[in-house]
Copies of this chain bind each other. A is one copy, B any other.
Amino acid sequence: MTDLFMELDRSSPVPLYFQVSQQIEQAISSGRLGPGARLDNEISLADRFGLSRPTMRRAIQELVDKGLLVRKRGVGTQVVHGQVSRPVELTSLYDDLARANQAPRTTLLVNEIVPASEVVADILDVPVRSQVLRLRRLRFANGEPLAIMENYLPADLSDIGRADLEERGLYQLMRARGVHIRVAKQRIGAKAGTTEECRLLGERRGSPLLTMDRATHDDRGRPVEWGHHAYRASQYSFEVTLVDH
């Protein structure tokens, strides 16, 4: 363990534990802390950063939850072997693509107010047959079709239907309307594409599609979106990191 610590900015609004975890993460991805490398114990690390032990612990725990570090009582904290994997976060497909310079583009197929079916009403926690916004979009990346996305939103967010849905992601537009997205529950599966789906996606009839059903909730626990997405299996997959606590 050489000095992997820079100064902390105690006047910054960024929490100290986050500043520390970012510095350690940087040390890992840059190779200064290679696979299997052992970190010093919490006490001495806390001393070196000038922090209390709980704060140092939280910084380390952030990286354990990300799957970058592994800890064992009586042994210590080590960097996990294997390639660094991209973090799994609550981001939108649009933002992911934009960040990866994949030139996302969207075609709006359907944009209408419909009465809620029983299924949609149940998930969005609104009365059956009350009005909800239905969207159906075709998402491109690098000019190639990537996914068909069907979404339902409660009535008070239906003005999103008048926004520039072809130029921005759904999450981004919701955030701009003061919706603070907190929890997304997803079910990932697969199916054979229908004739229409495959036509839209430029796949052969019956090609396998990766599907994702998602219910999204805001910081009040209120359902704010339900979606059914179908991705070209040849172009897309999901990454998930699981940690045993």
Instruction: Please tell me if the beta carbons of A90 and B236 are within 8 angstroms of each other in the complex.
Output: no
Main secondary structure of the interface of A (DSSP, over half): strand
- Cα(A222)–Cα(B180), bound, Å: 38
Instruction: Please tell me if the beta carbons of B189 and A237 are within 8 angstroms of each other in the complex.
Output: yes
How many copies of this chain does the complex contain? Answer: 2
- Say yes or no for A184: interface residue by CB 8 A criterion: yes
- Say yes or no for A166: interface residue by CB 8 A criterion: no
User: Which of B125, B187, B221, B237 makes the CB contact (< 8 A) with A187?
Assistant: B237
User: Which of B75, B85, B180, B186 makes the CB contact (< 8 A) with A185?
Assistant: B85
User: Mind listing 18 A-B residue pairs with CB under 8 Å?
Assistant: A36-B221, A67-B183, A80-B217, A81-B217, A81-B223, A82-B123, A82-B215, A89-B242, A90-B243, A182-B243, A184-B242, A185-B241, A185-B242, A187-B237, A187-B239, A188-B239, A189-B237, A190-B208
